[in-house]
């Protein structure tokens, strides 16, 4: 929800269109030239004739810096604001820049040159300004809005662009790292399919910066957000309430703005269960083996305990962590009225794993072992030889789509389930919370999987392109 910054030649309609768009969307409007005149106590023409253009440019830079500090504002810049890169750097920091591209001949026809000092020499000057500045307008713009077809068309075009920045509802996923997130592709595809005027983006929030994010989210009245590593637990003190499932597992992955109150939910646990059920399996009555004892494993253990799994085995490299998880799962089961489930903890080492997976119906990897970029891998897959052939082997990891664990399991004839199914299932459950209505999970899961495939293709293509560009640069470098 950035400012909307309008750039373009004098007379291209920045003030008129900007004021109209601001009024329509209930945003503030700021005309930088009018601000400069107000501050200086004289007109722009008087500033030019009394102090010259360099002095005016100084005032313009100060005005650009002040404008950049505004929030929820449409800003009409002066035609020459692009002459100094520092002006545009400041305005772009929190602004979406739109170039109003009106042909100079059309501007010359309708322009009152007397009111514009730079056009005092006659309207021919506008053509020269266009030749001098066009490249800069294009270089600094996030979007170009052709304005040749008249004010009405231009106004509608601008409103469409502003609409994208200020939709009816805005959502985000926060985490760090977040660049790899598939969530925007999934949620935006779902919103588009539902015809919902919502926008979903990814925001990097480093550890320790949740306070700043939550303050801004409240100020902007963000409709809701998803939470991923490393904030699922840390977000809780910043919220106004928790639903039962989130309170039970002590982790939140979905926050909804309910009339100004931020309420936390957890759709991870139910998401994995839905994905497992999608394979015709259930936790109820099953032997569930969980590798890892972190946040995701906690959710799975508690859900499996509440769903009355026959036996839950938690494998962890730190026994204390597994024991703590066991106690929490027992408490959760008691709170839900599930009879005392059998929960064992085991060391995450090959021999113990081979012994303890013999009666598992569902095995779930909830560690980052095998994840792209981590270079870590399971020490051994020998435990697969001891797993009953009927077992479903799941991996929460979705990058890569098929981890080594899943490939090893598939070659031994096991049915497998990758992390993408869970990711999509928890995202659809989050959208049900965000939109406050039930969704057609079957149809939307397929649509979301298609959006993820498209996103992965486009990431691969851009990596190839930047790899080629890098290679080209190196070769050019080698040739001096
Ligand atoms: P977490 O809280 O950091 O827990 C990770 C667990 O794995 C901890 O028990 C950790 O033990 C253990 N572990 C880490 N490295 C290990 C190693 N080299 N050997 C043995 N154990 C190791 O993370 P999380 O939030 O539970 O996430 C776990 C995985 O699930 C991640 O890969 C995450 O991307 C994935 N995930 C996927 C989805 C989805 O929608 N598909 C949702 C949530 C999570 P220590 O504490 O001793 O390090």
Domain limits, the chain: 3-166, 167-266, 280-419
- Higher-pLDDT residue of 182 and 464 is 182
Under a CB-based contact definition with an 8 Å cutoff, are residues 220 and 94 in contact? no
Please, what is the Cα angle at 470 between 469 and 473, to 5 degrees?
85
Q: What is the pLDDT of residue 116?
A: 64
Residue 234, classed as helix, strand or coil, is: coil
Stronger pLDDT, 133 or 26, i.e. the higher one: 133
DSSP 380-422: --GGGGTS-TT-EEEE---SSSS-HHHHHHHHTT-EEE-HHHH
Q: Decide if pLDDT at 460 tops 90.
A: no
* Residue 437 pLDDT grade (very low, low, confident, very high; cuts 50, 70, 90): very high
Mutational pocket test of ligand 1: of 250, 292, 345, the residue with most ligand atoms within 8 Å of the beta carbon = 292
Q: Facing residues of 143 across strands?
A: 98
Asked whether 295 lines ligand 1 (CB < 6 A), one says: yes
**pLDDT tens, residue by residue, 333-381:** 999 898 889 999 999 999 999 999 999 999 999 999 999 888 899 999 9
- C-alpha pair distances (Å), 297 with each of 24, 188, 328, 360, 424: 48, 28, 11, 16, 18
pLDDT at 287: 98
Give the distance (Å) from ligand 1 centre to CA of residue 292.
Answer: 6
Q: CATH homologous superfamily for 3-166? A: P-loop containing nucleotide triphosphate hydrolases (3.40.50.300)
Q: Catalytic site residue 446?
A: no
Dihedral pair phi/psi, residue 109, rounded to 5° = -65, -40
Is the pLDDT reported for residue 83 higher than 90? yes
pLDDT at 480 over 60: no
Pick the CATH number of 167-266 from 3.90.800.10, 3.40.190.10, 3.40.50.10860, 1.10.10.10: 3.40.50.10860
What was the pLDDT predicted at 172?
94
Query: How close is the Cα of 112 to the center of ligand 1, in Å?
Result: 66
pLDDT in tens, 272-296: 999 999 999 999 999 999 999 988 9
pLDDT above 50 for 477: no
* Element at 64 (helix H, strand E): helix 53-68
pLDDT exceeds cutoff 80 at 478? no
**pLDDT grade, residue 199 (50/70/90)?**
confident
Q: Radius of gyration (Cα) for the chain, nearest Å?
A: 29
Domains 3-166 and 280-419 share a fold: yes
Report which of residues 476 and 93 the model is more confident about.
Answer: 93
C-alpha count within 13 angstroms, C-beta hemisphere, residue 24: 16
Between the CA of 396 and the centroid of ligand 1 the distance, in Å, is 9
Count the alpha carbons within 13 Å of 306 in the hemisphere toward its beta carbon.
19
pLDDT digits (tens, 9 = 90+) for 173-187: 999 988 889 999 999
**The pLDDT of residue 473 is above 60:** no
Work out whether strand 224-227 and strand 169-175 pair parallel, antiparallel, or are unpaired: parallel
Give the Cα separation of 412 and 102 in Å (integer): 65
Sign of the alpha-carbon dihedral angle for 45, 48, 49, 53: negative
The pLDDT of residue 111 is 61
For residue 334, the tally of other CB atoms under 10 A from its CB is 14
Rounding to the nearest 10 degrees, give the CA dihedral for residues 109, 115, 120, 125: -40
Q: Is 148 a residue whose pLDDT tops 80?
A: yes
353 pocket-lining for ligand 1 (C-beta < 6 Å): no
In 3-state terms, what secondary structure has residue 124?
Answer: helix
Beta-bridge mates of residue 28:
73
Ligand 1 pocket, 321 CB below 6 A? yes
Instruction: Provide the H-helix boundaries in 197-267.
Output: 210-219, 244-249
Whole-number Å distance between alpha carbons of 30 and 22 = 9
Match 């009927």 to its residue by tokens: 390
pLDDT mean over 226-250: 93
Mean pLDDT of 143-168: 86
What length does the chain have?
Answer: 480
pLDDT-based confidence at residue 120 (cuts at 50, 70, 90)? low
Ligand 1 binding pocket includes 315 (Cβ within 6 Å):
no
CA pair distance 474, 477, nearest whole angstrom: 5
Detail the DSSP E strand segments found in 108-178: 143-146, 169-175
Write down the number of H helices and E strands in the chain: 18, 17
- Phi, psi values for residue 479, rounded to 5°: -90, 15
Output the average pLDDT for the chain: 91
Residue 26: its pLDDT value, please?
A: 82
State how far the Cα of 75 lies from the Cα of 259, in Å rounded to an integer: 29
With a 6 Å cutoff on the Cβ, whether 293 touches ligand 1 is yes
CA distance 283 to 380: 26
**Distance (Å, rounded) from C-alpha 118 to C-alpha 130?**
12
Q: For a pocket test of ligand 1, which of 227, 317, 352, 401 has the largest count of ligand atoms closer than 8 A to its C-beta? A: 317
Report the share of the chain in percent with pLDDT over 90. Answer: 74
Structure tokens at 288: 């569930």
Q: Hunting for tokens 């039930």 — which residue is that?
A: 438
Phi, then psi, of 186 in degrees rounded to 5:
-65, -55
Contact between 333 and 340 under an 8 Å Cβ cutoff? The reply is yes
Among the ranges given (38-47, 272-281, 468-477), the one the predictor scored with the smallest mean pLDDT: 468-477
Q: Please state, as a whole number, how many other Cβ atoms lie within 10 Å of the Cβ of residue 46.
A: 13
Q: Classify 280-419 by CATH class.
A: alpha beta
Starting at the edge strand found earlier in the chain, the sheet holding 415-417 runs 342-347, 311-316, 287-291, 362-365, 392-395, 415-417
User: Which band of pLDDT confidence, cut at 50, 70 and 90, is reported for residue 112?
Assistant: low
Whose Cα sits closest to atom 34 in ligand 1?
Answer: 397
Name the nearest CA neighbour of 251 among 366, 345, 418: 366
Q: Give 227's pLDDT tier (boundaries 50, 70, 90).
A: very high
CA of 294 to the centre of ligand 1 (A): 6
Distance 422 CA to ligand 1 centre (A): 15
């Amino acid at each position: 929800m950035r400012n909307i910054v309008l750039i373009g030649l004098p007379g291209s309609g920045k003030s008129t269109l900007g004021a109209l768009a601001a009024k329509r969307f209930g945003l503030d409007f700021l005309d930088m030239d009018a601000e400069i005149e107000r501050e200086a106590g004289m007109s722009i023409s008087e500033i030019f004739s009394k102090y010259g253009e360099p002095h005016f440019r100084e005032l313009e830079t100060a005005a650009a810096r002040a404008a950049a500090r505004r929030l929820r504002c449409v800003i009409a810049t002066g035609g020459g604001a692009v002459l100094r890169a520092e002006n545009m750097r400041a305005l772009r920091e929190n602004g979406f820049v739109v170039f109003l591209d009106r042909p100079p001949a059309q501007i010359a026809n309708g322009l009152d040159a007397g009111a514009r000092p730079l056009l005092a020499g006659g309207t021919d000057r506008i053509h020269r300004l266009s030749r001098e500045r066009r490249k800069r307008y294009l270089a600094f713009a996030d979007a170009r809005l052709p304005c040749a077809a008249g004010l009405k068309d231009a106004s509608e075009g601008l409103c469409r662009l502003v609409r994208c920045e200020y939709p009816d509802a805005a959502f985000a996923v926060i985490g760090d790292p977040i660049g790899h997130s598939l969530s925007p592709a999934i949620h935006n595809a779902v919103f588009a399919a539902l015809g919902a005027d919502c926008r979903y983006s990814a925001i990097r929030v480093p550890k320790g910066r949740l306070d700043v994010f939550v303050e801004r989210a409240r100020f902007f009245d963000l409709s809701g957000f998803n939470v991923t590593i490393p904030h699922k637990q840390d977000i809780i003190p910043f919220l106004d309430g928790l639903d039962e499932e989130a309170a039970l597992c002590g982790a939140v992955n979905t926050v909804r703005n309910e009339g100004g109150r931020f309420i936390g939910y957890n759709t991870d646990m139910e998401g994995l269960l839905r994905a497992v059920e999608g394979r015709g399996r259930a936790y109820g009555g099953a032997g569930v083996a969980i590798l890892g004892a972190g946040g995701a494993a906690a959710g799975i253990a508690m859900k499996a305990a509440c769903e009355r799994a026959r036996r839950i085995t938690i494998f962890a490299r730190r026994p204390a962590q597994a024991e703590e998880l066991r106690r929490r799962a027992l408490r959760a089961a008691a709170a839900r009225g599930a009879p005392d489930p059998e929960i064992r903890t085991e060391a995450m080492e090959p021999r113990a794993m081979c012994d303890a997976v013999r009666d598992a119906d569902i095995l779930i990897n909830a560690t980052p072992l095998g994840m792209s970029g981590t270079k870590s891998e399971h020490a051994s897959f020998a435990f697969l030889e001891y797993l009953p052939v009927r077992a479903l082997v799941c991996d929460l990891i979705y990058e890569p789509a098929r981890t080594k664990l899943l490939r090893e399991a598939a070659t031994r004839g096991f049915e497998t389930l990758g992390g993408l199914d869970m990711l999509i299932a928890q995202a659809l459950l989050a959208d049900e919370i965000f939109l406050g209505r039930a969704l057609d999970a079957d149809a939307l899961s397929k649509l979301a999987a298609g959006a993820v495939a498209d996103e992965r293709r486009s990431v691969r293509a851009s990596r190839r392109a930047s790899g080629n560009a890098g290679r080209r640069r190196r070769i050019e470098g080698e040739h001096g």
